[in-house]
Amino acid sequence: MHCEKNLCENVLKTIFGIKDALIVRKDFKECDICPHLRLQDDTGGIIKPLASHVLLDEERNIFLQVILNLKTPSHYVSLLRKKNYKDGDLKSMKSHDFHVMMQDILPLCLQHLVAKGCRMAIMCFSHVFKKLCAKIMDPRAMGDFKNDVAIFLVLLEKESSSSLFDIMTHLLVHLVE
């Protein structure tokens, strides 16, 4: 559950643009990856290109409105509308809130807000945790599931910034094993 909490927190910080720092963008040039996201020098200064995985202000407001207006069954998740998400402050959310956010709410909120590739990667991310947290698993299907997780991680790496990848993201491969 804590792995899911940390990964969901990373995804939310990434789409809110908190983890999209200048240092990460400079690393793209050093590692020779993501040429469309590298910092560009201009006569007036440095230009930071828009990333498809970072929400714009109006998209962030739509995302927050969906969460604030969400009606859930009693005791399903704590009252999300009482939380403060404006500045990306996620400290008031509990582990179970992140669990519900990752598996159910995040794919719903990002349905029309982010580019298709990024949206599909996050939906796959959500699907992986739904399968991992299921009460009943078919051991014969786990071999295919390992391949699905590997494909998902490649898709996620292709669509999002490298700041999303840390030890918790890599732990997902071992959780499946």
Give the residue extent of every domain in the chain.
2-176
State the Cα–Cα distance between residues 73 and 78, nearest whole angstrom.
10
Q: What is the pLDDT of residue 71?
A: 82
Distance CA 43, CA 85 (A): 36
**Tokens 């714009």, residue located:** 56
Q: Please, which residues bridge with residue 172 across strands?
A: none
Q: What is the CA radius of gyration of the chain?
A: 17
At residue 11, the pLDDT reads 85
> Can you tell me the distance from the alpha carbon of 2 to that of 82, in angstroms, rounded to the nearest whole number?
23
Question: Cβ neighbours of residue 176 under 8 Å, at least 6 residues apart?
Answer: 128, 132, 142, 145, 146, 149
Q: Which residues pair with 42 in a beta bridge?
A: 45
**Would you give per-residue pLDDT tens digits along the chain (177 residues)?**
678 888 888 888 888 888 777 777 777 777 777 777 777 777 777 777 777 788 888 988 888 888 878 888 877 777 666 665 555 566 678 888 888 888 888 888 888 888 888 888 888 888 888 888 888 888 787 777 888 888 888 877 777 766 677 777 778 888 877
Contact 135, 116 (CB under 8 A): no
Is residue 24 left, alpha or beta, with left meaning phi > 0 and alpha meaning psi from -120 to 50? alpha
Among the listed residues 7, 27, 9, the one whose alpha carbon sits nearest the alpha carbon of residue 18: 9
pLDDT given at position 137:
81
- Contact (Cβ atoms closer than 8 angstroms) between residue 24 and residue 174: no
